[in-house]
Chains A and B, each alone.
Chain A
Amino acid sequence: MSLRYLKTVRVVVALAVFVPATFLFLDVSEILPLWLVKALPAVQLVPSLFHLLEVFGWGGAGCIVVMLLTLAFGRVYCSTLCPLGTYQDVISRLNRSRNSLRRFRFHRQHYLLHYGLLFLATALGIGGSLLLLNLLEPFANFGRSTHALVRPLVVLMNNGIAWILEKFQVYQVYPVPFHLPSIVAFLVPLAFIATVSVMAFRSGRLYCNTLCPAGALLGLLSRVSLLRIVFDTKACKDCGLCEKVCKAQCIDSGTMRVDFSACVGCFNCFDACPTEGLHFGRRQQHEPPPQMTDRRRRKLLRDVVGTAAIVAFLPGDTTRTAVAVATGKTRASVPATPPGSQGIAHFTSACTACHLCVGVCPTQVLSPSFMEYGLGGIFQPHMDYSLGPCNYDCTLCGQICPNGAILPLTVEQKHVVQMGRAKFVRDDCIVTVKKTDCGACSEHCPTKAVHMVPYERGLVIPEVNEDICIGCGACEHPCPVTPRKAIYVEGNAVHRTAKLPEQQKPAPKVNVDADFPF
């Protein structure tokens, strides 16, 4: 039976995932339904694996399905569900040099590099730093790149359209806040996507078989998969077309062997084969793993050890405070992590920094960090109250985090999660300095943890009841004192439980039937 249709199926599924997955990070006006925002990341291998390890919830089902699929058919995930995979296919197709779609030839795979990186990323992750994993992981990189490189353009375009329509008193399209990513949050994704693009343009799925930790993990599984692509030595006419269309460069038509651990399941070979010389079958014979020369082996070993050394000596937490203070943005010495993230330790050990939460956060308070968590936590979001407050009744970030780094909270639960506590700097307050009323902080405070108490000359000044403060930053954000706010949120390294605002007796009733008081 011809298996050509499999390529068509693959293309359709890949596009059906890729298009909405891209829009996930570009949805500036909250158009996408919440179920879709939750469903697409739930089938991403690494996020879902984190979810399984962190909370053992339904969100972990995605990775089990992906792994079972791989054990059955190989790495079909890489060509369908992974948006970065599809992105590479698009780039690869852009190569219009001679015979562009038939430009590949078999290469021995870079096992040591690929599995070495997986091992290193895992070891570092267990040791507490997700830096290497986050720099390599496909979904996070896809999200970060789209968020940092494409979203600003979408925002500009949206705002341009809104601006033009506004001239005709049409307000259906509205401007959204435009934030330029920090230079690091811009350059690192740019470097990553440029690297992957060059790799894809020249060599198809080279990233997937060298740098990608998801590819490495699935590659290990596909080594023992039930069905695999094998040659039918009788039907094969040895034309070599399959090898030329193989983006993973894993088909050696000369020896009629397929390195199935590197196959990304694109099924181009089935489509190209004129004679059904390839099919899905059981393992034919024991295939000895390809041998490496000593020279290559030594070189790769150097690469891996070198990378390890760099990562191992990266500066840790000590740099954080210094950098945060130097940038002058906040007085806080501990950054606040999102509600539901339980604190810095849980959050930074489970967040792959895909920036999905940053994109959906309605007030933009969730913002990619730079050094707030130290270099090891680079890009993992933190609460940046200079951009906005955390909306009291909003629980979106926890609902959509595919990793379980931010756990879902009900609105009632969120109301008592204390991410941090407001600290009032009395000497800098408008009321102290100018002797006039202000109260912007207390005005916005949803629990009245920040409340006004008598000051001199009939004025009122803020006071903080930390017990009922949740660290939402509704006080810090509107504080008009510049350059540094007179009230700020000091993060709780481990989230605490805030008390609910004291139940007050109902406000005294008014006599509706009384005469007007004037």
Chain B
Amino acid sequence: MDRRTFVKTTVGASVLFGTGVKFGSLGKVFAGQSVPYDLVAVKGGEPDVMFDQAIAALGGMKTFVKKGQKVVVKPNIGWDVGPQRAANTNPKLVTRVIQHCFQAGASEVSVFDHTCDDWRRCYSSSGLEAAAKSAGAKVVPGNADSYYHDVTLSRGKIMKTARVHELILGADVFINMPVLKNHNSSKLTIAMKNLMGIVWDRGFWHANNLHQCIADFAGYRAPDLNIVDAYAVMTRNGPRGVSDSDVVTMKAQLLSTDIVAVDAAAAKLAGQSPEDIGYITLAAAQGFGRKDLGALNIKRITV
């Protein structure tokens, strides 16, 4: 690069910097949709078939996605391992969800995660880059500080600020798509824990009471829809897993607009009590959702 190009680039960049960016949906805390069920639980089929039936029970994807809206789908793409290890969200399910979004009229669907392993390898090994692109979604990196912008967590107890990916800040609809997994320190990683992949500084969470930080961040912006993939479930050695033998077939899926409820139900699926998972109890106490499954209006579907 010669000096002239360098100057041009720098000046151009600073001009753009001055203009800044406008983000929609900032600080949106509650999902606005009225849905017939608090939770839809489905089991016994392939991931895409289960989703078709579950989303139909909620009135179809058009309940969540309106014509022309920008959608962000956030699966777990944290690890550089193949789909059989169930460390990342099921690619078949992600493809299906994106297809539903476009059918509902989405103008754009983007997919990203702030990965743990090298992001290029995660995107490719997980099969999720291919799955998202095959459905017409835009695959966006989440690997650089520059994509993340400061937000305030007014309801956080320990975590008062965070840096959140600009896709989330600019999205009309945010669909959270975790995979249910065992986790070495938080016990289970489900929907709330999956939100660690939309922030930049995860070290802060680990260093300052992990459970409380997970709960605090759940109060930032409720995803418009949480889809928990429990088709294949890593029941030990999570969240990365050591071998294929860590995975069992469960053939289940949960849908809810309530991130606490969906985590509580998923915990039960994994054979644990929601009360034993620190962040579920904390988030419920902070009013970010309901963990008392008995009081919820649940639709149960067997495929």
Q: Chain A residues in contact with chain B, CB under 8 A?
A: 30, 153-154, 157, 159-164, 166-167, 169, 171, 174-176, 362-363, 388, 391-394, 430, 434, 436-440, 442-448, 451-452, 460, 478, 480-481, 501, 503-510, 512-513, 516-518
Contacts and interface: CB of A to CB of B under 8 A. Distances in A.
The 8 closest A-B pairs by CB, nearest first: A439-B185, A480-B207, A175-B144, A480-B203, A436-B209, A174-B141, A517-B268, A518-B293
Nearest to A167: B16
10 contacts: A157-B1, A159-B146, A169-B170, A391-B80, A445-B240, A447-B242, A451-B184, A501-B243, A510-B248, A518-B264
Interface residues of B, number: 69
A504 B138 contact: no
Given A166-B146, A171-B141, A444-B240, A160 B41 contact: no
B96 interface: no
Given A167-B16, A446-B240, A509 B248 contact: yes
Given A175-B143, A439-B186, A443-B116, A504 B243 contact: yes
Contacts of A518: 41, 264-265, 268, 293-294, 298
Given A430-B206, A506-B245, A437 B278 contact: yes
Interface of chain A, helix or strand or loop or mixed?
Answer: loop
Contacts of A480: 203-204, 206-207
A507 B1 contact: no
Given A392-B80, A513-B44, A440 B249 contact: no
B237 to A, nearest CB: 5
Contacts of B235: 507-508
Contacts of B10: 160
Contacts of A388: 118
Contact of A163 (B116, B141, B146, B245): B146
A438 B206 CA distance: 5
Contact of B211 (A437, A440, A444, A504): A437
A171 B140 contact: yes
A164 to B, nearest CB: 6
B121 interface: yes
B9 interface: yes
A478 B211 contact: no
B146 A363 contact: no
A164 B21 CA distance: 12
Interface string B251-265: 100000000000011
A277 B80 CA distance: 64
A440 B236 CA distance: 16
Contacts of B67: none
Interface in B77-134: 80, 116-118, 120-121, 125
Nearest to B5: A157
B137 to A, nearest CB: 12
Contacts of B28: none
A504 B13 contact: no
B184 A460 contact: yes
B210 A437 contact: yes
A508 B271 CA distance: 12
Given A166-B146, A452-B184, A512-B251, A436 B208 contact: yes
A168 B43 CA distance: 41
A440 B146 contact: no
A105 to B, nearest CB: 33
B207 to A, nearest CB: 4
B121 A391 contact: yes
Interface of B: 1, 5-6, 9-10, 12-13, 16, 19, 21, 41, 43-44, 80, 116-118, 120-121, 125, 138-141, 143-144, 146-147, 166, 170, 183-186, 202-204, 206-212, 233, 235-237, 239-240, 242-243, 245-251, 264-265, 268-269, 271, 278, 293-294, 298, 300
Nearest to A435: B209
A437 B183 CA distance: 12
Contacts of B248: 506-510
A148 B18 CA distance: 31
Contacts of A504: 236, 242-243, 245-246
A478 B147 contact: no
A510 B250 CA distance: 6
B27 to A, nearest CB: 21
Among B44, B235, B240, B278, the most chain A Cβ lie within 10 Å of the Cβ of B240
Contacts of B210: 436-439
Contacts of A516: 41, 43, 268-269, 298, 300
A173 to B, nearest CB: 10
* A176, A394, A438 interface centre (most CB from chain B within 10 Å): A438
Contact of A510 (B5, B184, B186, B249): B249
Given A436-B210, A437-B210, A501-B243, A448 B237 contact: yes
Contacts of B211: 436-437
Given A153-B1, A438-B210, A509-B248, 17 more contacts: A157-B6, A160-B9, A160-B10, A164-B13, A166-B146, A166-B147, A175-B144, A362-B120, A394-B118, A439-B184, A440-B185, A443-B240, A460-B184, A478-B206, A505-B245, A506-B245, A516-B269
A478 B239 CA distance: 14
Contacts of A513: 44
Contacts of A160: 9-10, 13
Contacts of A517: 268-269, 271
Nearest to A461: B185
Contact of A446 (B141, B186, B207, B242): B242
Contacts of A166: 146-147, 166
Contact of B184 (A162, A164, A393, A442): A442
Nearest to B44: A512
Contacts of B250: 510, 512
A516 B246 CA distance: 22
Contacts of B207: 430, 434, 438, 480-481
A132 B37 CA distance: 74
B186 A437 contact: yes
B185 A460 contact: yes
B43 A512 contact: yes
Contacts of B116: 443-444, 478
A391 B250 CA distance: 30
A445 B183 CA distance: 12
B239 to A, nearest CB: 6
Contacts of B233: 510
B54 to A, nearest CB: 13
Nearest to A504: B245
Contacts of B21: 167
Given A507-B246, A510-B250, A440 B16 contact: no
A443 B183 contact: yes
A465 B209 CA distance: 26
Contacts of A153: 1, 6
Contacts of B202: 440, 478
Nearest to B230: A510
A101 to B, nearest CB: 24
A440 B243 contact: no
